[in-house]
């Protein structure tokens, strides 16, 4: 008997059409012979991040190297960019469209406008992250403090909207599960990036370059990929959550 296929016409939003990445994979599921139905049925499954626009912001770049570890051989700007690139691959595979504030080793400073190079760099990053099309913005940094004893990834958020805490908790939980960290998601309303972030977002300090053991892990591409994977899982978990739960701020529920 010839299989009857059900073709579902999917309504794509304008954004999805622009993005061009929301091609929905069709899963052809064979039905059991005793079901009495046709032998083949086409079922649509949406990729977990289908249609989402995610802005990734690898901190620093160019003459601004950021935090330094291992006698100058571990640079925040390089590790943050590598992790952002791995993360881009993961979330694109999950159906998201990604914009990067930078995809090479440079500051975002065109020399125009007020303030210092650093201030202009930050404003240019925010202009990209605050584009109205962006659903989620994630800034990636690494820490360094005078004492070598501190370690672990931690996610910061501003509590200007309840969704930010939800996102940060989801990312921190994924980091804990996949990479391992003793740290918790932390509220910070003082960081410029978080204060001025329009979309739902967070800033992740993925580790301490001032801790030699952690710095050695952080320069390893396999560990960078693992962190990126954890961040992608956090994003997927956030979108899988009940939005009403986030809007209520009921994080313990
Ligand atoms: Zn930084």
Is 223 found in the same domain as 182? yes
Is 28 found in the same domain as 149? no
The confidence band for 113, taking pLDDT boundaries of 50, 70 and 90, is confident
Q: How far apart are CA 40 and CA 60, in angstroms?
A: 52
Is 84 found in the same domain as 18? no
pLDDT, average across residues 29-49: 59
pLDDT, average across residues 17-22: 33
For the cut 60, the answer to whether the pLDDT of residue 17 exceeds it is no
Q: What's the number of domains the chain is made of? A: 2
Task: Let me know if residue 154 belongs to a domain.
Answer: yes
For the cut 80, the answer to whether the pLDDT of residue 62 exceeds it is yes
Structure confidence by residue, pLDDT tens digits, 132-164: 999 999 999 999 999 999 999 999 999 999 999
Answer whether 40's CB lies under 8 Å from 74's CB.
Answer: no
CA of 50 to the centre of ligand 1 (A): 30
Q: Is 141 helix (H, G, I), strand (E, B) or coil?
A: strand
Q: Which domain holds residue 145?
A: 53-247
For the cut 70, the answer to whether the pLDDT of residue 36 exceeds it is no
CA of 173 to the centre of ligand 1 (A): 21
Answer whether 26's CB lies under 8 Å from 42's CB.
Answer: yes
Give this prediction's pTM.
0.81
Is 104 found in the same domain as 88? yes
Percentage of the chain with pLDDT > 90? 74
pLDDT, average across residues 115-121: 93
Question: What pLDDT does 39 receive?
Answer: 53
CA of 203 to the centre of ligand 1 (A): 10
């Amino acid at each position: 008997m010839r299989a009857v296929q059900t073709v579902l016409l999917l309504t794509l939003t304008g954004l999805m059409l622009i993005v061009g990445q929301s091609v929905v994979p069709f899963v052809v599921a064979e039905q059991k012979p005793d079901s009495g139905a046709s032998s083949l049925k086409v079922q649509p499954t949406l990729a977990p991040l289908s249609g989402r626009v995610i802005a990734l912001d690898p901190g620093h770049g160019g003459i601004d190297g950021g935090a330094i570890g291992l006698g100058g051989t571990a640079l925040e700007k390089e590790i943050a960019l590598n992790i952002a690139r791995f993360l881009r691959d993961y979330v694109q595979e999950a159906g998201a469209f990604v914009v990067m504030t930078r995809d090479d080793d440079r500051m975002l400073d065109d020399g125009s406008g007020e303030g210092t190079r650093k201030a202009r760099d930050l404003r240019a990053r925010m202009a990209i992250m605050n584009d109205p099309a962006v659903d989620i913005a994630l800034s990636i940094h690494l820490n360094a403090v005078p004492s070598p004893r501190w370690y672990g990834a931690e996610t910061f958020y501003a509590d200007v909207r309840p969704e930010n805490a939800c996102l940060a908790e989801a990312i921190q939980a994924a980091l804990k599960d996949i990479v391992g960290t003793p740290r918790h998601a932390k509220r910070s309303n003082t960081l410029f990036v978080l204060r001025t972030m329009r979309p739902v977002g967070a800033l992740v300090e993925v580790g301490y370059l001032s801790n030699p053991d952690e710095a050695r892990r952080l320069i390893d591409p396999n560990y960078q990929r693992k962190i990126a994977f954890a961040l992608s899982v956090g994003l997927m978990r956030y979108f899988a959550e009940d939005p009403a739960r986030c809007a209520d701020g009921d994080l313990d529920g």
